[in-house]
Amino acid sequence: MSTFSNPVSRAATTAKGASGSGLPARRKLLLHAVLLVCAIAMALPFAWMLFSSFKPLSEIFVQPPKLLPQDWNEEGYRTALGGADFVRGFWNSTYIALTVTAVSLLTSAMAAYAFARIDFWGRRPLFMVFLATMMVPGQLTIIPLYIIMGWLGWVDTHTAIIVPPALFNAFGVFLLRQYIRGIPVELEEAAQIDGAGRVRRFVTIILPLLRTPLTALGIFTFLGQWNNFFFPLIFLNSSDKFTLPLLVNQFKGQYVSDWPALMAATTLLAAPMLIVFAFAQRQIVEGIALSGSKS
């Protein structure tokens, strides 16, 4: 009886699993449908911006609204490229964002290593104060920062918008510290036995293991600096030093009603970052997930 009941019970279990397998499939289909709707809703403003850059002005505010232009033309791009020095602005934005990203990754990794591995007096309270700075809006510190930049003679120079964010990145320190705390201490202890000092252990052991979170942090930092508008607006006065966001804003002031040209200029500003995000979204997700899983 027992030998017969086992196959029967296994068959019943298999049948039950087969009949119940449709429920997870339906849930998965519903989840994908919801995600698809959300993705379309988030992509619609970018699509509207792109297609509006190819519309004539008469089609921008047509009722009912139409996504695709009826009369395709590139006049918006000609006006945008002719009304602002996009080549110089592109170079300014690129080298500023790359410099801030490179220096910020190094300083954030060193500070994160100190908070995660070096036992010094007041480490935990100092780290709490460090994190508390993320809750302070940048608008509240812009006046003393502007005074300091004036004392140093950095107003109307790119140094004023490179040094502060490059040397201090509380979010980056927090992100990397969480990941470093999950790296086994035994790796450093073994290197220490072999005679490796603190700096060598950091360079040869910790930094290579931080590749994933550093990639994610680098992308975030680069995107933030590329789209940074507030700090360049405050510190830069010369048009030859303007970044792309400032050029787009200046262009808007010159062509208030020329919406196709404004959409074209905005598309030129957003296109490089959309391409970077499309190719690097996997590294962003992995870096945040791995760093957030460390305790």
pLDDT category at 5 given cuts 50, 70, 90 is very low
Q: The CATH number of the domain where 215 resides is what?
A: 1.10.3720.10
State the residue range of the domain holding 68: 2-76
Based on the structure, what is the number of domains in the chain? Answer: 2
Q: Name the 3-class secondary structure at 169.
A: coil
* Sequence-ordered list of residues with C-beta below 8 angstroms from that of 175, at least 6 positions apart, any chain: 108, 112, 213, 216, 217, 287, 288, 291
In a shared domain, residues 70 and 89: no
Question: Same domain, yes or no, for 88 and 56?
Answer: no
**In this structure, are 150 and 238 located in the same domain?**
yes
Within this chain, do residues 89 and 47 fall inside the same structural domain, yes or no? no
> Is residue 202 within 8 Å of residue 220, measured between CB atoms?
no
Q: Which of 76, 105, 135 is the last residue of a domain?
A: 76
**Domain closes at, from 76, 93, 120:** 76
Percent of the chain with pLDDT over 90: 22
Question: Domain check: are 54 and 92 in the same one?
Answer: no
Q: What is the pLDDT of residues 49-76, one digit of tens each?
A: 888 888 887 888 888 888 888 888 888 8
- Asked which of 58, 76, 94 is the last residue of a domain, the reply is 76
Residues 201 and 275 in one domain: yes
On whether the pTM is more than 0.85, the answer is: no
> Coil, helix or strand for 83?
helix
User: Both 252 and 110 in a single domain?
Assistant: yes
Instruction: In whole angstroms, give the CA distance from residue 193 to residue 185.
Output: 13
| Chain segment 167-210, per-residue pLDDT in tens | 888 889 998 998 898 888 888 888 888 888 888 889 888 998 88
Q: What sign has the CA pseudo-torsion 123, 125, 129, 134?
A: positive
| Statement to judge: residues 108 and 231 lie in one domain | yes
**Are both 97 and 208 inside the same structural domain?**
yes
Please tell me whether residues 9 and 134 are part of one structural domain. no
Quote the percentage of the chain above a pLDDT of 70. Answer: 85
Whether residue 38 is found in the same domain as residue 183: no
Contacts of 179 (CB under 8 A, 6+ apart): 112, 210, 213, 290, 291, 294
